[in-house]
């Protein structure tokens, strides 16, 4: 009936990551423009070196609160009026902070770009941070933290990083702050953080979409002419591990139908010579649907709906983590399989078939990742945040292709540390504790949720 023979691929058509221009405007703001004229859409992404890693000790969450407050009132308009103005233009605007940067982003139809961008520049150049709105954002963050108590996935992620990093590391606490730190934050903390970190020398505007380089230069020059000048100082980030011994933490949830599992250790920073080998190694271990960990836990054993592993790429060494949720009864056998897979990929070379699957996937999927102006802008922001070379995207596929089985093995042996694995389980301690003790995965501590 259906043709028996599998079709062969045709000749590939070439693809290039969109050309972009990188320059510093007279004001000192850096501008990266990628003209892409597929549809009448433009994304403007402002990134500031004001991420959560810059939170002063005891003020965890101030970076996120500051970024959130940027749109809550300016010299002339209050927060409600700002939202109304943007939305009348059909533009939604969002702001926030992750570990390595603060951002403000709009995606708009081209014919409204100028008005929306001028509004954006005006708003974020002179935020008033009204007391009432800062208080509200703080209360909303506290509500979010409270929600985590009953949300096993988010709770597992948070507990994992807490037990992974030394207490004095900023990475050991939630990027948006804890109940204690957020409760203690004031409007003045926000104002101080903004004054210190939001400067021309720490700001890049990325524009991707239906616009020329010249128009972008004029528009951004005008919109950000009032941006405060100067360059904030850099800070030393502590990223040491809490312990180098294996240990197990059970966050007890009586009668939980599943155990949320996180297994891992401190990984490596984004800018690292082993980046490409580690990326390919992880794709084979747990990055793809057809990875060892997913096929083992899901398709062989039916323990889970899905299991994956990843390096959380940050400027500092973010976590390496295996993440899954399994039926409570099989928590210990599932963990055993995870440990085995980590040992196995460090033991022998991966097969040619596994290596080609990972490389072909990462190479082939590359153009599919950059279909939208938002995705292109975000890729360009990554270049800026991690100070990657301008030809990074042009050489990406070549770099993937060059990774050998020996390098994958080397990456597994040097970057995965079975003797340091931290295991976090959000689940029913009564049910899972004894079987886990038999795995000898380290000392077990049980915590209440």
Partner 1 sequence: MRIPVETFRLDNGLLVTLSEDHTAPIVAVNLWYHVGSANERIGRTGFAHLFEHMLFQGSAHVGSNEHFELIQRAGGTLNGSTWLERTNYFETVPSNELALALWLEADRMGELLPAMTQEKLDTQRDVVKNERRWAVDNQPYGTMLEKLQELVFPSTHPFQHSLIGSMEDLSAASLDDVAQFFATYYTPDNAVLSIAGDFDASDARQLVADYFGDIPAGSGKPPLPPMNLPPVFGQSLREVVYDNVSLPRLFMTFRSPVFGSEQYYAASVAGAILGLRKGSRLQRSLVRDRQIAADAGAFTFDLAKGTDLLVVDVTARPEIPVPQLEEEVEREIDRFYREGVTATEVKRAVALIETDLVTSLQSAGERADRLSMFATFFNRPELINEQSDRYRAVTMDRVNELISERFGENNRASLLYVPREGVESEGILAAAAGTA
Interface of this chain with partner 1, residues 359 to 398, rule: CB under 8 A: 360-361, 363-368, 370-374
For partner 1, the binding residue among 67, 119, 263, 325 (CB under 8 A) is 325
> Rounded CA gap, 257 and 250, in Å?
15
Which one, 53 or 330, has the nearer CB to partner 1?
330
Exposed (0-12), middle (13-18) or buried (19+): which is 165, by Cβ within 10 Å?
A: buried
* 443 in contact with partner 1 (CB under 8 A): no
Residue written as token pair 């990554």: 382
- Give the range of 164-172, 185-193, 223-231, 323-331 binding partner 1 by CB under 8 A: 323-331
Q: How far is CA 318 from CA 27, 86, 200, 240, 349, in A?
A: 34, 35, 27, 10, 26
Total chain residues near partner 1 (CB under 8 A): 80
Positions 49 through 68 that interact with partner 1 (CB under 8 A): none
Min separation Cβ 359 and partner 1, Å = 10
Angle, to 10 degrees, between the axis of helix 213-223 and the axis of helix 113-125? Answer: 30
Q: How far is CA 180 from CA 51, 91, 233, 243, 319, in A?
A: 20, 35, 27, 24, 24
Contacts of 25 (CB under 8 A, 6+ apart): 31, 217, 220, 221, 224
Q: From the list 1, 233, 236, 273, which residue makes contact with partner 1 (rule: CB under 8 A)?
A: 1
Q: Compute the least distance from the CB of residue 350 to partner 1, in Å.
A: 15
The answer to whether residue 352 forms part of the interface with partner 1 (CB under 8 A) is no
> Could you say which residues in the range 154-213 bind partner 1, by CB under 8 A?
none
19 in contact with partner 1 (CB under 8 A):
no
Q: Hey, which residues between 23 and 52 contact partner 1 (CB under 8 A)?
A: 38-41
Figure out which of the listed residues 327, 333, 420, 431 binds partner 1, where binding follows CB under 8 A: 327
For the CB of residue 57, give the shortest distance to partner 1 in the complex, in Å.
Answer: 27
CA atoms of 374 and 99, how far apart (whole Å): 20
Residues 423-442 that bind partner 1 (CB under 8 A): none
Closer Cβ to partner 1, 101 or 328, answer by number: 328
What does the DSSP assignment read for 210-255? S--HHHHHHHHHHHTTTSPP--PPP------BS-SS-EEEEEE-TT
The least distance separating partner 1 from the CB of residue 273, rounded to whole angstroms, comes to 26
Could you say whether residue 7 binds partner 1 (CB under 8 A)?
Answer: yes
**Closest CB to partner 1 among residues 231, 305:** 305
Q: Is 101 in the site for partner 1 (CB under 8 A)?
A: no
User: What is the three-class DSSP state of 68?
Assistant: helix
- Nearest in space to 203 (alpha carbons), one of 228, 235, 223, 222: 228
Q: Which of 117, 204, 296, 304 binds partner 1 (CB under 8 A)?
A: 304
331 in contact with partner 1 (CB under 8 A): no
Binding residues among 233-272 for partner 1 as defined by CB under 8 A: 256-258, 260
Q: Which of residues 71-100 bind partner 1 (CB under 8 A)?
A: 79-80, 83-84, 86-92
Is 114 a binder of partner 1 (CB under 8 A)? no
In the bound state with partner 1, the residue whose beta carbon lies nearer, of 253 and 314, is 253
Among 12, 26, 273, 389, which residue sits at the site for partner 1 (rule: CB under 8 A)? 12
Nearest Cα neighbor of 415 from 298, 205, 274 is 274
Shortest reach from residue 234's CB to partner 1, in Å = 34
Contacts of 114 (CB under 8 A, 6+ apart): 219
Compute φ and ψ for 40, nearest 5 degrees: -75, 60
Residues 119-158 that bind partner 1 (CB under 8 A): 136, 139-140, 142-144, 146-153
Residue number with CB closer to partner 1 (57 or 146): 146
- Contact call for residue 338 and partner 1 (CB under 8 A): no
Phi, psi of 255, rounded to the nearest 5 degrees:
65, 15
**Of residues 273-302, which lie at the interface with partner 1 (CB under 8 A)?**
288-290, 295, 298-302
The stretch among 48-56, 62-70, 311-319, 320-328 that binds partner 1 (CB under 8 A) is 320-328
Which residue in the set 52, 108, 169, 309 belongs to the binding site for partner 1 (CB under 8 A)? 108
Containing 409, the helix (H) or strand (E) segment is helix 405-415
Dihedral of CA atoms 219, 220, 225, 228 in degrees, nearest 10, equals: 170
Least distance from C-beta 148 to partner 1, angstroms? 8
Give me 285's structure tokens.
Answer: 């271990």
How far apart are alpha carbons 50 and 194 in whole angstroms?
Answer: 8
**Cβ–Cβ under 8 Å, residues 246 and 421:** yes
Instruction: Find out whether 418 and 400 touch, Cβ atoms under 8 Å.
Output: no
| Smallest distance, partner 1 to C-beta of residue 52, A | 21
């Amino acid at each position: 009936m259906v043709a028996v023979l599998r079709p062969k691929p045709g000749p590939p058509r070439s693809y290039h990551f969109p050309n972009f221009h990188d320059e510093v405007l007279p004001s000192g703001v850096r501008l990266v423009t990628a003209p892409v004229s597929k549809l009448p859409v433009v994304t403007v992404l402002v990134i500031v070196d004001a991420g959560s890693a810059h939170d002063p000790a005891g003020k965890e969450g101030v970076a996120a609160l500051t970024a959130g407050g940027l749109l809550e009132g300016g010299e002339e308009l209050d927060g409600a009026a700002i939202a109304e103005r943007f939305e009348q233009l059909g533009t939604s605007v969002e702001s926030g902070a992750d570990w390595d940067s603060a951002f403000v982003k709009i995606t708009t139809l081209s014919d409204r770009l100028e008005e929306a961008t001028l509004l954006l520049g005006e708003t974020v150049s002179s935020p008033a941070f009204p007391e009432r709105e800062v208080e509200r954002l703080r209360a909303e963050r506290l509500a979010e933290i409270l929600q985590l108590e009953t949300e096993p996935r988010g709770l597992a992620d948070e507990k994992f990083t807490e037990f992974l990093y030394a207490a004095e590391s900023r990475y050991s606490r939630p990027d948006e702050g804890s109940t204690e730190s957020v409760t203690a934050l004031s409007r003045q903390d926000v104002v101080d953080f903004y004054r210190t970190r939001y400067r021309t020398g720490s700001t890049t505007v990325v524009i991707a979409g239906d616009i020329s380089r010249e128009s972008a230069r004029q528009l951004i020059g005008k919109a950000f002419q009032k941006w405060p000048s100067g360059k904030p100082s850099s800070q030393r980030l502590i990223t040491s591990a809490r312990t180098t011994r294996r240990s197990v933490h059970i966050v007890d949830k009586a009668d939980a139908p599943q155990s949320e599992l996180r297994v891992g250790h401190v990984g490596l920073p984004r800018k690292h010579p082993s980046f490409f080998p580690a990326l390919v190694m992880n794709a084979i271990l747990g990055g793809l649907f057809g990875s060892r960990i997913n096929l083992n836990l899901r398709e062989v054993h039916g323990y889970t709906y899905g299991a994956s592993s990843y390096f959380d790429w940050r400027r500092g060494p973010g976590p390496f983590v295996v993440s899954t949720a399994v039926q409570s009864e099989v928590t210990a056998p599932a963990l055993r399989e995870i440990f085995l897979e980590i040992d196995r990929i460090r033991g022998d070379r991966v097969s040619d078939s596994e290596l080609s699957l990972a490389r072909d996937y990462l190479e082939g999927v590359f153009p599919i990742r950059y279909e939208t102006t938002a995705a292109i802008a975000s890729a360009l922001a990554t270049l800026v945040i991690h100070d990657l070379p301008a030809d990074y995207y042009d050489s990406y596929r070549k770099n993937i292709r060059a990774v050998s089985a020996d390098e994958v093995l080397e990456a597994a042996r040097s970057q995965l540390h079975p003797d340091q694995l931290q295991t976090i389980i959000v689940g029913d301690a009564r049910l899972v504790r004894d079987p886990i003790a038999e795995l000898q995965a380290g000392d077990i501590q049980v915590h209440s949720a």
